[in-house]
Amino acid sequence: MQERYLGDVHDYIKFALLRHLEKTLDVRIGVNWYLTDPENNGDGGQRDFLDKPAEWGRLDKDLFGKLQFFRDPACRTLDEFEQAEILPKNTLYYENKVSAKEGRSLWHEQATSALSEAGLIFLDQDNGFEIKPKSMAGRTHKYALYSEAAGYYERGKIVIAIQFAAKVKPNDRVEEVRNKLIINGCPADLPVLRGRVTPNILFFTVSPSEHAKKVRGALSEFEGKSPVVRGFKRIEMID
C-alpha cells in the first residue's frame, strides 16, 4: 500500500469490512501494510464518496466520519491512521516496507512474528497477489505472494487479502486467484466479496475449518449492508 491512498474509497470498504469482522467474530486484527514508496502516477485517491453521506454513510457511519480526516494530504500517514483509531485500539500493525526479492523471506518472518497475537490477518498489498512473472519484473514489492497467505493460514489465522481487478473480468480474476490459493494449500470455499468501485476491489478470505461457518455468515452480513458490495458464489475446488 501507499500512504497517499489513505482514506480513499477503497480504504473505506476495506476498513468497514475489518471493523465488521472484528465485532462479529470477536477477533483481534493484525494488519500487514505491505508498505511501498509512493508513485507519482496520478492514480488513486478517490475521495468524492466523502461528499455523499446518504449514499455511502450507511455502510459504516462512524468510519465514514473518521475518514473525513484524510481529506488533508498532510494527515495521510500510518502514524496518523493508527492514532485516529480507525481500527480497534488493540489492532496490531506491521509497517516495514516490503523488501526486495532477496530479503523477502526475512521480511515475511518479521511480519509473522509481529502479528502473531492476532487471530485475523489483513494483507493490504498494493495491487494484490502475485501475477504473471513477466508482469512482476522489478515490481514484486507491489504484490503479496500466495505462500505468504498460506504461511499465516498454517498458523491458524483467518486471512483477508485484497486483489484489484482492473482491465479484467472480476469473475476471471476470482477463479484465477482461488485456484492458486488452493495450489498453495489454502481452502477457497468462502465467498469472495467485490467492491463495485473503480477499479473493482476483491476480498479473498481463507479460514481454518473451525471458524469457517462463522466467517461465512459474517461475510454474508457485510454484503447485505450496502449495494456497493457484492458476493461471488464459490467455485468447485480443483484437485
Domain chopping of the chain, boundaries: 3-232
C-alpha cell at 60: 459504516
- The pLDDT, as a whole number, for residue 154 is 97
Q: What is the dihedral of CA 69, 27, 99, 67, to 10 degrees?
A: -10
pLDDT tens-place string over residues 20-62: 999 999 999 999 999 988 766 555 578 889 999 988 998 999 9
Helix (H) or strand (E) holding 172: helix 170-183
Helix (H) or strand (E) holding 206: strand 200-206
Alpha-carbon distance of 161 to 118, in angstroms, equals 15
Residue 139 pLDDT > 70: no
pLDDT band at 237 (very low <50, low <70, confident <90, very high): very low
CB count within 10 Å of CB 12 equals 25
Residue 9 pLDDT > 80: yes
Q: Domain 3-232 belongs to what topology?
A: Rossmann fold (3.40.50)
- The pLDDT, as a whole number, for residue 234 is 53
Of 4, 85, 76, 71, residue with least CA distance to 37:
4
- The pLDDT, as a whole number, for residue 135 is 54
b/e 42-60 (16+ beta carbons within 10 angstroms → b): eebbbbebbeeeeebbebb
Alpha-carbon distance of 60 to 239, in angstroms, equals 39
Alpha-carbon distance of 199 to 132, in angstroms, equals 19
Q: Apex CA 30: angle with CA 218 and CA 100, to 5°?
A: 125
Alpha-carbon distance of 60 to 235, in angstroms, equals 30
Alpha-carbon distance of 163 to 10, in angstroms, equals 11
pLDDT tens-place string over residues 180-216: 999 999 998 899 999 999 889 999 999 999 999 999 9
The pTM assigned to this predicted structure is 0.91
Of 17, 16, 6, 3, residue with least CA distance to 204:
17
